Amino acid sequence: MSSIPTPPGSVRHDWSLDEVRGLFALPFADLLFMAQQAHRMHFDPNRVQVSTLLSIKTGACPEDCAYCPQSIRYDTGLEREELMAVEDVVGRAHKAREAGATRFCMGAAWRSPKDRDLRVVTEMVRRVRELGLETCATLGMLTPAQAATLKEAGLDYYNHNIDTSEGHYGEIITTRSFQDRLDTLEAVRNAGINVCCGGILGMGEQEADRAAMLHTLATLPEHPGSVPINQLVKVPGTPLEDSAPLEPLEFVRCIAVARILMPRAHVRLSAGRTEMSDEMQALCFLAGANSIFYGEKLLTTGNPDVERDLALFGRLGIAAEDPPVHASA
Ligand code: SAM
Ligand code: DTB
Ligand code: SF4
């Protein structure tokens, strides 16, 4: 079968781009078999981690990310909302925990946080952590000092996506560079916060771009702890609203390649599940996805309702992963 000598499940940081392209070129069954081997070496394949998202500050973002309904540059009809009150965020985290989430991710439509906003967010992190939930935040670019402040507050994960390949990046975002993203990831890593970093598929990129994006992630000094793979949610009013749909099996291939390249990461089947059949999601779990966003909303767009996800888990014999011990208050 494969011409790739590395035993599946090996943790490597020296993948070549040719090797990554070689994985994409494998027959589908061989690729999924290899992904399954890697997955089963490091994880219980019948457990999936569940994270719930909350938009703590919505809309009016100065950046020009072409996929994003929250950019002030595109008329998507979204109502802007100021930074939420700490008590309201804690109430939503409590509900997420009751519904079965183990990680709570707070997202803000900022280019980067102002220090006065960060003071409020650190209070949110402390209070959400007291509920026994893992905490995650996605607030835009961070300086090393801001990352250290979040670490001090007990933040477990910071989400900051590279979004696409370095080559395709300029087609999608012009207001900050690919290197800016890598710099923030470095600040987060150096502060000792777990990195959550992935991208979006279906933004007009080629397979070579998808390979290059995963290659960048897999050759970071440390693999991200979580790798969200999003399918573009085409929001009317954004420049990408009419993007050609991605071939579903190509999405599954990306999940499998991410699993093989970063075998110890939680690979998250992220945005776009509303448009996916249960069978497509089952294929993604077979390919090594072991995390989802759970709850009716992502940040501003829809997500499958809890009943549908619980029914799917039941049909597939999947159980939600327990929260790690260190997340307890
Ligand atoms: N403003 C911060 C930033 O961009 O770093 C944090 C929030 S931002 C909404 C977080 C991530 O959501 C983006 O990096 C992008 O990968 C993802 N995202 C945003 N809009 C999306 C869409 N329409 N479809 C899929 N993913 C999307
Ligand atoms: C990630 O990779 N996907 C999430 C989370 N990280 C922050 C966001 C998806 C957003 C989809 C569009 C929306 O709901 O606004
Ligand atoms: Fe702003 Fe983040 Fe949306 Fe880009 S992805 S426009 S930075 S909220």
**β-pairing verdict for 226-231 and 266-269:** parallel
Instruction: Name the more confident of 290 and 60.
Output: 290
Question: Residue 323 CA to chain centroid, in angstroms?
Answer: 18
pLDDT at 328 over 60: no
Q: Which residue is catalytic, options 97, 129, 136, 176?
A: 136
Q: What percent of the chain has pLDDT over 70?
A: 96
Return the pLDDT at 5.
53
* DSSP assignment of 259-309: HHHSTTSEEEE-TTGGGS-HHHHHHHHHTT--EEE-SSBSSSSB---HHHH
Among candidate residues 92, 105, 181, 189, the one labeled active-site is: 105
Above 50 in pLDDT, residue 73? Answer: yes
* Of the candidate ranges 9-13, 119-123, 222-226, the one whose mean pLDDT is the lowest: 9-13
**322: Cβ contacts below 8 Å, ≥ 6 apart:** 102
232-259 tens-digit pLDDT:
999 999 999 999 999 999 999 999 999 9
Q: According to the model, what pLDDT value does residue 4 have? A: 53
Please choose from 174, 230, 243, 276 the residue to mutate so as to test ligand 1's pocket, defined by most ligand atoms within 8 A of CB.
230
- Predicted confidence at residue 1, as pLDDT, reads 44
pLDDT of residue 327 exceeding 90, the answer is no
**Distance of CA 206 from the midpoint of ligand 1 (Å):** 20
Q: What distances in angstroms separate CA 43 from CA 29, 215, 290, one per listed residue?
A: 20, 22, 9
From the alpha carbon of 298, which atom of ligand 2 is closest? 14
Task: Give distance in angstroms: CA of 317 to centre of ligand 2.
Answer: 27
228 SS3 class? strand
**Greatest alpha-carbon span in the chain:** 56
Predicted pLDDT of residue 250: 97
pLDDT of 188-197, one tens digit each?
A: 999 999 999 9
Find the residues whose C-beta lies inside 6 A of ligand 2.
53, 69, 107, 138, 159, 161, 198, 228, 230, 233, 270-271, 298-301
Please answer whether residues 195 and 233 qualify as being in contact, where contact means their C-beta atoms are separated by less than 8 angstroms: no
Please confirm, yes or no, whether 65 is among the known catalytic residues.
yes
Measured in Å, residue 213 CA sits from the centre of ligand 1 at 16
pLDDT value for 326 = 54
Determine whether the shortest distance from the Cβ of 108 to ligand 3 is under 6 A: no
Query: Residue with the nearest Cα to atom 2 of ligand 3?
Result: 109
Confidence (pLDDT) at 152: 95
> 320 falls in which pLDDT band (50, 70, 90)?
confident
| Per-residue pLDDT at 321 exceeds 90 | no
Range with lowest mean pLDDT among 20-24, 95-99, 137-141, 170-174: 95-99
Any ligand 1 atom below 6 A from CB of 295: no
The ligand 3 atom nearest the CA atom of 68 = 3
On the question of pLDDT at 199 being above 90, the answer is: yes
